[in-house]
C-alpha cells in the first residue's frame, strides 16, 4: 500500500514538473501596446504556450477584451469580457450558468410587476 502511494505521488510530481517546465520555458511571441493621450489604450499579447489576450478601452471608463489559454486537460479556455459603469461582464463556455427560472416563479414575478401594492398605487405608506 505504501509503495503504491509513493509511486502515485512520484508520478504526479513528474507530471507537475513537466507542465511547469513547459510553462516556465514559455516565451512572449507577440506584444503590442498603444496608450493615447486621451487615456484610451489597447494591448495584445501571445505566448509560446498558447496564452493570448487583448484589451482596449478608455482608462477608468470602460474596457473590453478577451483571454485564451489551454487548461491542464488540453481544453481551450476562452473568456470574452466588457467592463463599464455597470460592472464586469465575462462570458465563456467554461463559466457556470444559473439554472433556468421555473415558469411558476416567472408567472409570480409578472403578477407582482403588474399588480403593485395598495400603498404604492396611492403614493403613501403605513406608519
Specify the pLDDT at position 9: 46
Quick check: is 4 in a domain? Answer: no
pLDDT tens digits for range 1-52: 444 444 444 444 444 445 556 678 889 999 999 999 999 999 999 999 999 9
SS3 89: strand
Cα 41 from Cα 21, distance rounded (Å): 33
Specify the pLDDT at position 41: 95
Confidence class for position 122, pLDDT limits 50, 70, 90 = low
Q: Is the pTM of this model over 0.75?
A: no
Q: Looking at the 3D structure of the chain, how many domains does it have?
A: 1
pLDDT tens digits for range 48-107: 999 999 999 998 899 999 999 999 888 999 999 999 999 999 999 998 888 999 999 999
Quick check: is 94 in a domain? Answer: yes
Specify the pLDDT at position 12: 46
Quick check: is 13 in a domain? Answer: no
Residue 122: how many CB atoms within 10 A of its CB? 9
Contacts of 19 (CB under 8 A, 6+ apart): 72
Quick check: is 92 in a domain? Answer: yes
Quick check: is 109 in a domain? Answer: yes
Specify the pLDDT at position 126: 55
Which range of residues forms the domain containing residue 91?
25-114
Amino acid at each position: 500500500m505504501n509503495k503504491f502511494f509513493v509511486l502515485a505521488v512520484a508520478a504526479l510530481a513528474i507530471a507537475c514538473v513537466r507542465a511547469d517546465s513547459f510553462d516556465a520555458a514559455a516565451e512572449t511571441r507577440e506584444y503590442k501596446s498603444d496608450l493615447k493621450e486621451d487615456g484610451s489604450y489597447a494591448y495584445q499579447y501571445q505566448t509560446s504556450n498558447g496564452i493570448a489576450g487583448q484589451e482596449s478601452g478608455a482608462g477608468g471608463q470602460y474596457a473590453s477584451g478577451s483571454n485564451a489559454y489551454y487548461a491542464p486537460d488540453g481544453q481551450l479556455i476562452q473568456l470574452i469580457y466588457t467592463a463599464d459603469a455597470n460592472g464586469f461582464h465575462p462570458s465563456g463556455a467554461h463559466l457556470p450558468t444559473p439554472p433556468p427560472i421555473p415558469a411558476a416563479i416567472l408567472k409570480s414575478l409578472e403578477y407582482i410587476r403588474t399588480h403593485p401594492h395598495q400603498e404604492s398605487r396611492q403614493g403613501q405608506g403605513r406608519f
